[in-house]
Amino acid sequence: TPAGPLLAIESSCDETACAILAPDGTVLAERLVSQEDHVAFGGVVPEIAARAHLALLPDLARKTLESSGLARSDLAAVAASTGPGLIGGLIVGASFGKGLAIALGKPFIAVNHIEAHALSARLPGVFDGHLTFPYLLLLVSGGHCQCLAVEGIGHYRRLGGTIDDAAGEAFDKVAKMLGLGWPGGPALERLAREGNPAAFALPRPLKGRAGCDFSFSGLKTAIARQLEPYGSAPLPRQVAADLAASFQQAVADVIEDRIIHALAMMERPTALVAAGGVAANATLRSRLTALAGSHGLPFVAPPLRLCTDNAVMVGWAALEICREAGRRSLPLPDNRAMRP
Ligand code: KG4
Ligand code: ZN
């Protein structure tokens, strides 16, 4: 474990974020910028994201340090997400982090972004009662949609994932078809409150199928077909609301079914954990809470700011990795250190 506070950096998508954590996981400071430059394009533009990270990161890191009240020389290590994600942004974050680590003469810890999501539910304060292994993680965001058996630090078994779009991507695309802005998930959820979830008979892709893979592109196509009669005419608000509610219901049904399968693929899971932007969805949350309860398990979802991309989870994962390496008296594995 680092002998002092650690600076963590996240830059894998369109969030530029820094956090400083004490060795016990206490968050000493955090700063996050959700890049606005992509809104006009209706989605994240990798090139723009990378340039924005480059422009934002130095100042953000300085301000984070300032608000922690620490001096640069107090930092005992630097960590950054080094993949998976958009490569331009990852290179910016990793290079900045490594440069800083070299200047300070302190170690650099490379963190797998999915691993950071996977371990975020173990952050102090997220779940009262310590979250122990193994647990089932449903990671549902704009870029990811997968079920992981989290069996220990460094031990993750992928039980299944999407064979086409990520869940958030489907929310965003359907929202766009319904004339809502980007990101579409929150807007679609709001509109769905005015709609009837049984108004449209939409497919439930892969429901009942063995394993726990996901598919969402068929749902998107089904919505497009329902929209055909309206051509370029404006969509009546009630129709849009009914479609939004029906879509959300279909997604929740499918995810519930896939989670039932995923739970059966694990031996004695301790909890059902959800992370990623889509885990903010209230319909999905209440379904997963009930589902976990029916299996005698707690449902754990980190607060939204820790569910979506952030640097706190990166710092926490770095601490967990170091602690585990220390426990086994091993040096950090090669792929953890100094490699983007
Ligand atoms: O985790 P996240 O902030 O970024 C990554 O993709 O890594 O997730 C963003 C995604 C977007 O697709 C957004 O539409 C979706 O999460 N999302 C939601 C909700 N809030 C955000 N989807 C459904 N319901 C929501 N309330
Ligand atoms: Zn993410």
- ipTM associated with this complex: 0.98
309 is in an annotated binding site: yes
Contact present, 147 and 159 (Cβ < 8 Å):
yes
Strand order in the sheet with 6-10: 27-34, 15-21, 6-10, 77-83, 108-112
> Residues 61, 70: contact at Cβ < 8 Å?
no
To the question of whether residue 141 is assigned a binding role by annotation, the answer is yes
Residues in the chain: 340
What predicted TM-score, i.e. pTM, was given to this entire model? 0.92
User: pLDDT for 119-165, tens place per residue?
Assistant: 999 999 999 878 999 999 999 998 889 999 999 999 999 999 999 99
Which atom of ligand 1 is nearest the CA belonging to 166?
Answer: 12
Distance in angstroms (rounded) separating the CA atoms of residues 241 and 115: 36
> Which CATH number does the domain 134-301 belong to among 2.60.120.650, 3.30.420.40, 3.30.390.10, 3.30.70.20?
3.30.420.40
Would the CATH topology of 6-120+306-336 be identical to that of 134-301? yes
Q: Rounded CA gap, 288 and 335, in Å?
A: 35
User: Cβ(184) to ligand 1 under 6 A?
Assistant: yes
Q: Is the pLDDT of residue 339 over 50?
A: no
Q: Rounded to an integer, what distance in angstroms lies between the CA atom of residue 267 and that of residue 135? A: 9
Q: Is the pLDDT of residue 245 over 80?
A: yes
CATH topology of domain 6-120+306-336: Nucleotidyltransferase; domain 5 (3.30.420)
- 325-338 tens-digit pLDDT: 877 766 555 555 54
CA 231 to centroid of chain Cα atoms: 35
User: Is 194 labelled as part of a ligand binding site?
Assistant: no
Q: What is the DSSP string of 220-233?
A: HHHHHHHHGGGTTS
Is the CB of residue 16 less than 8 Å from the CB of residue 54? Answer: no
* Beta strand extents in 226-321 (DSSP E only): 272-275, 299-300
Of the candidates 298, 204, 308, the one whose C-alpha atom is nearest the C-alpha of residue 251 is: 204
With the most atoms of ligand 1 within 8 angstroms of its CB, the residue from 10, 81, 117, 141 to mutate is 141
Cβ atoms of residues 288 and 138 within 8 Å? yes
Phi and psi based region of residue 126 (left: phi greater than 0; alpha: psi -120 to 50; beta: remaining):
alpha
Does residue 43 surpass a pLDDT of 90?
A: no
Instruction: Enumerate the domain spans of the chain.
Output: 6-120+306-336, 134-301
Dig out the tokens for 112 from the structure: 């797998």
Lowest-pLDDT range of 56-60, 99-103, 321-325:
321-325
Contact (Cβ atoms closer than 8 angstroms) between residue 21 and residue 315: yes
Helix (H) or strand (E) holding 159: strand 155-161
Q: How far apart are CA 282 and CA 280, in angstroms?
A: 6
CA atoms within 13 A on the CB side of 258: 29
- Ligand 1 near 168 CB (within 6 A): yes
Ligand having the closest approach to the CA of 81 = 2
pLDDT at 38 over 70: yes
CA of 297 to the centre of ligand 1 (A): 25
User: What are 293-308's pLDDT values in tens digits?
Assistant: 999 999 999 998 999 9
Q: Answer yes or no: is pLDDT of 81 > 60.
A: yes
